Chains A and B, each alone.
Chain A
Amino acid sequence: MLNSMMKTKIFAWVDRRTDAGAIIKSQLTEYPAPKNLNYMWNFGSLALLVLVLQILTGVFLAMYYKPSAAVSYGQYTVAFDSVERIMRDVNFGWLIRYMHAVGASAFFVVVYMHIGRGLYYGSYKEPRELLWIIGVVILLIMQGAAFFGYLLPWGQMSFWGATVITNLFGALPVIGEYLQQLLRGGFAVGDPTLNRFFSLHYLFPLLLAAIVGGHIHALHVVHSNNPEGIDLTKEEEKIMFHPYYTVKDAFGVGVFLLFYCYFVFFNPHAWGYFIEVDNYVPANALSTPPHIAPVWYLTPWYTILRSFPDKLVGVLAMGGSLAILFALPFLDRSKVRSARYRPVFKQMVILFFIDVIVLGYCGHEPPTPVLKLVGQVATAYYFAFFFLLLIVPKFEKTKPEPEGI
């Protein structure tokens, strides 16, 4: 279909003025990709799909959502009521809102898989350092967008989640209080906070779309890594992106949609993991819910925060746990990329994946003394993983890499 479209006169007219044909050929249809990519390489295109779904559903939700903490007729608030109106009165509003809420979690599932793939196969190493760094920027913006979005329903979890996170910034010396008021637009989370969070929640996905463009451009300059982690020099080691990977990505989309639709249609709250029950209680500035935790995709970092008895150290550790991702390409000096040929790194990185899941579990549960200790051990390993990477190459006996694929 694309081929016949590219033969039309209209396309020829556009092509003479934009070079569109050459761009489509070099970046999509005839873009050379390694022939041995496994299914872990599907998550990049899935992340792009979910980003599009989130922007699409978000634009339609914004047609009915009202960012106001003003008290409404029923003694709730305008924002809370507008979300309930979307659920009850707007045609297909329930579907679009559940797509958006489930989509937020799906986005992080897909992106965490994508990041894990990059870690395991060494995709962050030379020459892909900047590609990795752009990816970390995308992760941070995603977490920001998710955090801003979570305030919008103006339920109890929204309100107290935003209160806790904006208080984190208050822990910083000297500028803390100023920064906190800058974020809140007042002395506590309130109507001005809700308005600016809505504005930023709309802005961040637009930033994401632009930076994702940069991420893909950077990828197409240095080209995809592959499960063997070796540089591909021979032509026969590569296949054209179209039709081989367009079809494989489309198959991945089908499998993804199976899971996505199950949650959207049959289990949108996902046992309280995607949408917390307490968030159906309208925001109340006079009463904190008995158990308060962020949504699952932020809980690993929440555990790192509360593993330290000192407020400022906890805040810095949480920030550092994300910031250290930027340094990863420069911490790991091993020339071998893929964990397949690095026996020590392989065990470390699998343990790291388990560690992050343990951190996530600890952050989701109420803090008991045992869980607190588990969280502290997991936090210790989280940081140890990155610093051990500095010394591992000095003693690790790597396996011989294949000549080609």
Chain B
Amino acid sequence: MTEKANESRRNFLYLAAGGLGGVAAAATIVPFIGSMLPAADTLAASKTEYDVTTVAAGQLVVILWQGKPVFITNRTPELLKEVDGHDDMLKDKDSKAIPEVSQPWMNDPDRVKYRSIKPEYLVVSAICTHLGCIPGYKPTAGRKDWGDSVPADWPGGWHCPCHGSKYDISGRVINGSPAPFNLHALPYKYTSDTTVLIG
């Protein structure tokens, strides 16, 4: 030991050793946090096939796609008429607010309005864009079937039980709802006349 330590050399060594140790510790955190993210098999794009003719006229079916609920409805001509006549009540009638509410297949005005490839079969995310509940199905217009749980000018659609968000029969969010966006549109196509493939 010398009488007087070389302070600047010692400080440099402290910083260098401590700094590299810190880098190593930070690098060690990466695999641990990484392991908590979805695993490869969870991420693997799972596709779901569904025969839409099993949905009776006027009926709603909820299925799972990648672990998330999806609405499939068979809209009767009366229900299809409910899509029109309340554009002023909608936050985003043309589904343009964010990318998730539209899909490349929405390539003509009817598909934008009905938000479906075949007008009668609506295939749409069942997750309320507010806080993720599954909205309740109240398809008929007015208060005839629903009492005063819906407003007097209810156009028919979905009504979320959690915080009262309202969507029309095309899954478009209605003014006054806490939900900010329409129900998300899904990437699907018809692989035959009656079978849709989601994903």
Contact = CB atoms under 8 A, between A and B. Distances in A.
A387 interface: no
A60 B34 CA distance: 11
Interface residues of A, number: 15
B35 interface: yes
A1 interface: yes
A85 B37 contact: no
B31 A96 contact: yes
Nearest to B21: A250
A88 B44 CA distance: 13
Contacts of A250: 21
A63 B34 CA distance: 12
A91 B32 CA distance: 9
A365 interface: no
Contacts of B31: 91-92, 95-96
Main DSSP-derived SS at the B contact region: helix
A90 B32 contact: no
Place the interface of chain B in its size category.
Answer: 10 to 19
B41 A85 contact: yes
Given A1-B18, A96-B31, A60 B39 contact: no
Interface in A39-82: 56, 60, 63-64
Contacts of B42: 89
Nearest to B37: A91
A118 interface: no
A80 to B, nearest CB: 16
B35 A60 contact: yes
Interface string B166-177: 000000000000
Contact of A93 (B18, B30, B35): B35
Contact of A89 (B18, B34, B39): B39
Contact of B40 (A63, A89, A95): A89
A85 B43 CA distance: 13
A90 B34 CA distance: 9
B35 A91 contact: yes
B36 interface: yes
B124 to A, nearest CB: 30
Contacts of B21: 250
Contact of A96 (B18, B32, B37, B39): B32
B41 A96 contact: no
Contacts of A90: 35, 39-40
Contact of A88 (B36, B37, B40): B40
Given A91-B34, A91-B37, 11 more contacts: A60-B35, A60-B36, A63-B36, A64-B35, A64-B39, A85-B41, A88-B41, A89-B40, A90-B39, A92-B35, A96-B31
Interface of B: 18, 21, 30-32, 34-37, 39-42
Interface of A: 1, 56, 60, 63-64, 85, 88-93, 95-96, 250
15 contacts: A60-B35, A60-B36, A63-B35, A64-B35, A64-B39, A89-B39, A90-B35, A90-B40, A91-B35, A91-B37, A92-B34, A92-B35, A95-B31, A96-B32, A96-B35
